Amino acid sequence: MTTELKVSHLNKKYRTKKALDDVSFEVKSGQIVGLVGPNGSGKTTLMKAALGLIKVDGEVEIQGDPVTFSKHKQLEKVGQLIEYPAIYPFLTGYDHLKMFADGKNQKARIDELVQDLGMQDYIKNRAKSYSLGMKQKLGIAMALINNPSLVILDEPMNGLDPHAVIEVRQLIQKLAKQGVTFLISSHILSELEKVIDHLIIFNEGKVVRDTTPQELNGSYKIRVVIKTNDDRAACETLNNAGFKMPKTKVSFLLKDETTLAVVIKFLVEQGFDVLDVDKQASDLESSLMKLLYPNESAQGGEA
């Protein structure tokens, strides 16, 4: 796989605050990379740096060629939506797409995007009448109009209704299959999880983790909650036998596959009825919370 985007040792300071602190990572061609982190962690600053919108120390390369504050040639291959869609209220949606479309088959490309994003009903209306979701869709369409090889989307699901979220997701997946690379930031982690195949976690201007969602989820143990006919007594018995349990709920993190069987066998041998076993698989949101806020997410015992 070739490298689509490479950032090396990016640093950016706003007055005293370090917005980017020695940020380096690579995005391979055809990947859908999620960029996640708390508000103010530097995600938008990083995207702006990759688009040559701000001055930074360090290097940005797209397909091996540099992009800087004054060198924009490579941006020909990039589509973007940063912060909020760039819309002229006095133009129609169609005008926007027509104006930003380059090269051949413009009409066919516009029509296909309008169709894919379900914008047929209002694309010929002036954008000042658009809702937030309609503007967002138009912004996404503008990012995709010139068949870019790299698409940078900052919070693309902002303001979209559930149906539109599905349309955007399907479009991203369709384009990724055609080899388009995506770098997407989003707060809606459950949605991001459905499309990304790689993950860059940002905090305080630094890359905290450069991983895959599976790897991240897998690095946190699964929590098990066992419901018995007498939870309090079961906990006491388990604690006496050396298992670490909370006082009222049989709840623990799985260390390995055998732990669950050991605990259930022990409870049955002690005369408890096991009524239910709930395995709480770790999702991206909880994995991320555990990584970024380890103190807040700690709860329950360990078997």
Site residues for other proteins per CB under 8 A:
48, 51-55, 69-70, 72-73, 75-76, 78, 80, 82-91, 95, 99-100, 102, 142
Quote the least distance from Cβ 54 to other proteins, whole Å: 5
Candidates 8, 13, 3, 36; CA nearest to 211 is 36
In the complex with other proteins, the residue whose CB is nearer, 55 or 232, is 55
Label residue 39 exposed, middle or buried (CB < 10 Å: 0-12, 13-18, 19+): exposed
Please state the closest distance from residue 141 (CB atom) to other proteins, in A.
12
C-beta of 19 vs 172, nearer to other proteins: 19
Cα 35 from Cα 210, distance rounded (Å):
10
Q: For the chain, how big is the Rg over CA atoms in Å?
A: 24
Measuring CA to CA, which residue among 160, 167, 166 is closest to residue 117?
Answer: 167
Contact criterion met (CB below 8 Å) for 209 and 201? yes
Query: Of 84 and 266, which CB lies nearer to other proteins in the complex structure?
Result: 84
3-state SS class at 120: coil
73/279 with CB nearer other proteins: 73
Q: In what order do the strands lie in the sheet with 198-203?
A: 78-81, 150-154, 181-185, 32-36, 198-203, 206-211
| Nearest to other proteins of 89, 271 (CB atom) | 89
State the minimum distance, in angstroms, from the CB of residue 70 to other proteins: 6
Q: How far is the CB of 285 from other proteins (least distance, A)?
A: 29
Q: Which is nearer to other proteins, 78 or 119 (CB)?
A: 78
Indicate the helix (H) or strand (E) that contains 269: helix 257-269
Output the six-digit token pair for 146: 């010139």
In the complex, least distance from residue 122 CB atom to other proteins, rounded to whole angstroms: 17
End-to-end CA distance of the chain: give it in Å, rounded: 42
CA-CA-CA-CA dihedral for 212, 1, 182, 39, to nearest 10: 40
Output the smallest distance, CB 256 to other proteins, in A.
Answer: 49
Question: Looking at beta carbons only, is 88 or 293 nearer to other proteins?
Answer: 88
Q: Considering the complex, what minimum distance in angstroms separates the CB of residue 86 from other proteins? A: 4
